[in-house]
Chain A
């Protein structure tokens, strides 16, 4: 049996100021680490939840996003009538021809303009997105200048709330309802009748066609059919994949930022732990000699000091996670630089992040403590005893 764990723990407790400062440094690093992971996770969750595996998005070849896309009316009809499209409750194909444009609207409070995505919807659009729920008011009547706004638009943009109105496309549009789409991207959209919006924006073509597959496993076949049809110059994607690609650059940016920041910051915290542990070893030289004289092996001494440093890391990790968990109350809204449209997502804490953050903090503790611990274990007994 080795040196008891409470030896390591109590030594930390004895040097409260030093231990506290070291833990504070580590906690901040873990806080940054966890927060950035939470941000990336929030973004991922938002986009994954936005798409549905059974749905297919069809846009113009090479256009990358609905905003840049244009699907001619004739092409849209061909897609809509494909036999692989599922049928709705009324027997009609479960497909929606939609228009997507960006408009810039001023935010509440700051009045700063930001780009908002407006989606012209068909009768089936809501059926295709079961995650969208009307929370207040009603759906816009076809043929009217009525719109409904996602919760994050209603809350954050001027004129976006229930009963208010927005001006664009040389018309005033009454907000007759708000909808909640949970943590999906739809919550940052405005929906209105597709024909009215096409008139208002003088767009003769649709942006995209969305449909539900009769059999989700048929996707490859559908894709081949559309790719091989010379009349259609269209890209076909599963909806989940489409939304994933929409934020690839953003996700990559967050990942690079997160990884490089934590790498650099952790160097600082590791150095902090190293300074602390070297001092701990120097101050306890005589103790180390005594323990060795009593018959404890070098490995036990090494273990005790590494354990002490691991405790430091763990405490830092727990403190950092504690503060990072409050970040869940925050929602970040920014413009996705791939689509130029506003996207809101929140910090999301998962068990995976908790475990990664704790592992990371233990890693910092270990790296910070291992060299000092080696120094402690390699002392000659009589030299160490003489240090008293």
Chain B
């Protein structure tokens, strides 16, 4: 008890230095936490994906479509509960920088397959009835101030022209891993228009969402679907939604690796800062350590004193940093909503924060402790005078 009081008192002897070190630690933990959250946001789509769904797309690549006639063939495959056709629309709202995901979907079957999009019954009803109707996520609607029955125009990039929609519903996520910034509308509306302007591109779906009767059947059903279309003009590639999402991320893996690496650099930077503080502190107190040794306190006592002070400073900084991470992540998530629709601090991030502060505190105390333990009493005492 006395030891703990002494080491806390020691920590505050150089108030300015301790305050600066704690501040540095706070900033480092905050930056570390935010970077880890960026990484988990990158994987948010994977986390949120359902084990109950498969995605069937053209085996060549995503820019190639599949005939809509595949839908009925897929439905007949053993183990399939429901199928919905969808197209990545890639529309632009007013300006290119207002990016959000927008899809043309078959409304009834899509909403059945995606129960995590929660839509009030009356809005669902209205959406299904209106051929030009659209549904937007809560975050997206808030960002652009959209209200139910507002007209919205998207500029097509893949499908040329201006496309007018009426907002009929605003969905919320079933839980907070759900992306609330998507925009969906009727596949029929897209197809009918395309039929008039670009007939050769009509009756095609970008991908099919396949609902499974039993998630354990995923592998068998995927193989069965792909086998059906083997050697046809458009071969398919069917995989679980998770694998589909992961394939997107693996393409940008280099960036994730960079961020992961950089998140550890900040920890090393702060390690240098805290180690510096501890080295200076211990050097100034070497005389006191000599006195303690002269009084008969052994090396373990000195070690506890120095490690304790170092860990006290880093834990204090980490606690503040963790507390600051949550509001900062919220602000960050709002600012970068279009890059990261889901931006939540994971519990794992907090554990990593704590681990990092313990490592920094321990490493920083090693050299000063060794020096304090090695000092000969006579030399240490001379340094005071």
Contact = CB atoms under 8 A, between A and B. Distances in A.
Q: Is A bound to B? A: yes
B64 A265 contact: no
Interface in A193-234: 201-202, 204, 233
A63 interface: yes
A78 interface: no
Interface residues of A, number: 57
Interface stretch (A25-33, A84-92, A148-156, A183-191): A25-33
Contacts of A382: none
Contact of B160 (A61, A168, A265): A61
A237 to B, nearest CB: 14
B279 A253 contact: no
B64 A276 contact: no
B20 A274 contact: yes
B276 A22 contact: yes
B173 interface: no
Contact of B265 (A32, A104, A169, A271): A32
B1 interface: no
B32 to A, nearest CB: 10
A32 to B, nearest CB: 6
Contacts of B31: 261, 264-265, 268
B266 A264 contact: yes
Q: Is the interface of B mostly helix, strand, loop or mixed?
A: helix
A64 interface: yes
Interface string A234-249: 0000000000000001
Contacts of A113: 247
Q: B63, B200, B275 — which one has the most chain A CB atoms within 10 A of its CB? A: B63
Contact of A271 (B24, B156, B231): B24
Contacts of A268: 24, 27-28, 31, 266, 269-270, 273
B280 A18 contact: yes
17 contacts: A17-B279, A21-B279, A25-B273, A62-B157, A102-B62, A103-B60, A115-B251, A253-B339, A264-B27, A264-B30, A265-B31, A265-B266, A268-B27, A271-B21, A271-B23, A272-B269, A333-B254
Interface of A: 17-18, 21-22, 24-25, 28-29, 31-32, 60-64, 67-68, 70, 101-104, 112-115, 168-170, 201-202, 204, 233, 249, 253, 257, 261, 264-265, 267-269, 271-272, 274-276, 278-279, 283, 332-335, 337, 340, 342
Given A21-B272, A204-B200, A279-B17, 11 more contacts: A22-B273, A29-B269, A32-B265, A113-B247, A261-B262, A271-B23, A275-B24, A332-B258, A334-B254, A335-B252, A337-B252
6 closest pairs, A vs B, by CB?
A335-B251, A272-B273, A271-B24, A21-B276, A25-B272, A334-B254
